[in-house]
């Protein structure tokens, strides 16, 4: 049997566009026109901040993407889910500004734009192209339609879909080109404890002796059903189960009712700190990204991120990264089992040229079986009538009513992680106050940096 090894990064190399030498960084910014990064708003509520894309690109999570895409690349991604270099990639990524901001900037192709964040120099954008977009067209083509993608799209996307609204709310002018971070951000607590960009994550795998690792996508505080999923999915591997389980939380703009990001990270961390899955086998990390909830499309991005981080396998459940009933509930599993031709995949994304190397592990659900007296896998347990499902909404209701969840539903230390951040924000879930606070503080601080701007 062939033993699996850590796969190469998507595209061959991990992108590293971070300048760590301050003198060089200052020289790069000298004489630039500056622009303060603004969040994408919907009815005054932040739904995206492009700084998260800049960080994820420059630290290599989205390798081989290096910047805001040129027009032809956006078109290719929308039509075939491929970059101009042929490597597969699911989403258009652009730096968008208003017409007014574009006029005020007075920049053109070949110029370098300094991007400020929280009032400080943060990154530069070397401009290759400036062009206009139709945000409605981009939004529609990004997610698909029932007519064009009948295999998996069930109903047209509309204003209730948060990812669709991110694209629909883009500004009309795109400034395309490579980003370079010139002033490394400092992650705030507790994010700093979980910051493992791909190069560092791969080093950590080596230290831990992980030859194989399975990725777990999360945007939730873990209940015991998630724990059972992680433990059981990890039994895949090659000659032995996967050496490690990589939890990678997607951190970004939140929806009301979600758990705060801090509770998600520390809740997952409690699973290993308190030995439910020992830390030698379980690791918690995050990626900055304002989730698009694109189900099969999003799963491609997840595959790319986690392959870049060094994972050999990725678990995919029902309704992966989904909201509402826009996609077939098994759309992601269909993509990774058969492919979705209308999205450019005649075969699964790990079986096409310039595709991914990560191996999918499609999983069904876990429920509590009172007859077995344990969390049971739906495809194994023969007591369907007796099943008791763990629903996230059910647990949220329990939390809101101040009821300590029993150990069979949620580990006490995970619940305490929720309460810890509930004490900080006065609320167990994301609410308008949390969103406003998060928009102000973000996940990072940017150190002071003096540069000579263009006058």
Partner 1 sequence: MVHYIGLLLDDVRFSAIKGTGLEEKLTTLFGGQIKSLVLEVPEELSKKILAEFPNARIDSRSYLEDLPVAFKRALFNEVVEKKTLGTEVIEAVFQKMDEIKELAAKESEYIPPPDIDTSEI
Residues that bind partner 1 (CB under 8 A): 256-257, 266, 270, 368, 370, 373, 388-389, 391-394, 396-398, 400-404, 406-409, 413, 416-417, 419-420, 422-423, 426-428, 431-433
SS3 of residue 14 by DSSP: coil
- Least Å distance, CB 34 to partner 1, is 37
The DSSP bridge pattern shows strands 313-316 and 374-377 to be unpaired
- Rounded Cα distance between 443 and 422, Å, is 18
- Rounded Cα distance between 181 and 309, Å, is 20
- Least Å distance, CB 17 to partner 1, is 35
- Least Å distance, CB 270 to partner 1, is 7
Cβ distance to partner 1 smaller for residue 220 or 431: 431
Cβ distance to partner 1 smaller for residue 12 or 397: 397
Within 8 A by CB and 6+ apart from 455, the residues are none
Cβ distance to partner 1 smaller for residue 155 or 403: 403
- Least Å distance, CB 414 to partner 1, is 9
Are residues 232 and 378 in contact, defined by beta-carbon separation less than 8 angstroms?
Answer: no
- Least Å distance, CB 251 to partner 1, is 18
Q: How far are the Cα atoms of 37, 81, 295, 320, 335 from residue 330, in angstroms, in the given order?
A: 37, 20, 9, 8, 9
Cβ distance to partner 1 smaller for residue 129 or 365: 365
- Rounded Cα distance between 283 and 287, Å, is 14
- Least Å distance, CB 206 to partner 1, is 29
DSSP calls for 277-315: S-TTTEEEEEEE------THHHHHHHHHHHHHHT-SEEE
Cβ distance to partner 1 smaller for residue 118 or 318: 318
Are residues 146 and 154 in contact, defined by beta-carbon separation less than 8 angstroms?
Answer: yes
- Least Å distance, CB 187 to partner 1, is 18
Q: How far are the Cα atoms of 20, 50, 67, 435 from residue 16, in angstroms, in the given order?
A: 11, 18, 11, 30
- Least Å distance, CB 401 to partner 1, is 6
Cβ distance to partner 1 smaller for residue 200 or 420: 420
* Location of structure tokens 């920049």: 107
Cβ distance to partner 1 smaller for residue 5 or 160: 160
Cβ distance to partner 1 smaller for residue 136 or 403: 403
Cβ distance to partner 1 smaller for residue 321 or 451: 321
Are residues 437 and 397 in contact, defined by beta-carbon separation less than 8 angstroms?
Answer: no
- Least Å distance, CB 363 to partner 1, is 16
* Location of structure tokens 């509770």: 263
- Rounded Cα distance between 132 and 71, Å, is 9
Structure tokens at 357: 């190397």
Are residues 446 and 117 in contact, defined by beta-carbon separation less than 8 angstroms?
Answer: yes
Local structure of residue 410 (DSSP, 8 states): S
């Amino acid at each position: 049997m062939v033993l699996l090894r850590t796969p190469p990064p998507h595209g061959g190399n991990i992108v590293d566009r971070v300048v760590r030498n301050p003198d060089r960084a200052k020289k790069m910014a000298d004489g630039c026109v500056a622009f303060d990064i603004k969040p994408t708003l919907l009815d005054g509520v932040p739904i995206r901040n492009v700084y998260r894309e800049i960080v994820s690109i420059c630290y290599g999570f989205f390798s081989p993407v290096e910047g805001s895409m040129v027009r032809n690349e956006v078109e290719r991604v929308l039509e075939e889910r491929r970059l101009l270099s042929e490597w597969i990639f699911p989403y258009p990524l652009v730096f968008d500004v208003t017409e007014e901001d574009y006029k005020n900037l007075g920049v053109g192709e070949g110029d370098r734009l300094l991007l400020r964040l929280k009032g400080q120099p943060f990154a530069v954008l070397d401009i290759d192209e400036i062009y206009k977009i139709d945000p409605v067209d981009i939004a529609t083509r990004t997610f698909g339609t029932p007519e064009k993608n009948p295999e998996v799209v069930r109903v047209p996307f509309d204003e209730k879909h948060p990812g669709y609204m991110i694209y629909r709310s883009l500004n009309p002018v795109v400034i395309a080109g490579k980003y370079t971070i010139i002033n490394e951000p400092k992650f705030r607590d507790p994010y700093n404890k979980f910051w493992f960009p791909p190069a560092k994550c791969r080093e950590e795998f080596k230290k831990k002796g992980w030859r194989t690792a399975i990725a777990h996508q999360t945007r939730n505080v873990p209940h015991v059903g998630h724990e059972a999923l992680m433990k059981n999915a990890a039994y895949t591997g090659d000659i032995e189960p996967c050496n490690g389980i990589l939890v990678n939380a997607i951190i970004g703009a939140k929806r009301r009712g979600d758990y705060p990001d801090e509770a998600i990270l520390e809740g997952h961390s409690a699973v290993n700190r308190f030995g439910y899955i020992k830390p030698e086998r379980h690791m918690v990390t995050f990626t900055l990204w304002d989730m698009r909830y694109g189900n099969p499309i999003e799963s491609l991005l997840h595959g790319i991120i986690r392959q870049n981080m060094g994972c050999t396998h990725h678990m995919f459940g029902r309704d992966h990264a989904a909201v509402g009933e826009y996609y077939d509930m098994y759309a992601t599993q269909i993509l990774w089992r058969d492919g979705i031709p209308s999205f450019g995949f005649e075969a699964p994304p790990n079986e096409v040229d310039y595709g991914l190397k990560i191996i999918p592990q499609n999983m069904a659900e876990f429920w509590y079986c009172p007859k077995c007296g344990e969390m049971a896998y739906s495809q194994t347990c023969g007591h369907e009538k007796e099943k008791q499902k763990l629903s996230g909404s059910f647990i949220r209701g329990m939390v809101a009513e101040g009821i300590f969840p029993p150990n069979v539903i949620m580990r006490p230390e995970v619940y305490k992680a929720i309460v810890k951040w509930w004490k900080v924000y006065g609320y167990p879930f994301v609410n308008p106050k949390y969103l406003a606070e998060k928009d102000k503080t973000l996940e990072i601080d940017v150190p002071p940096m003096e540069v000579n701007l263009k006058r």
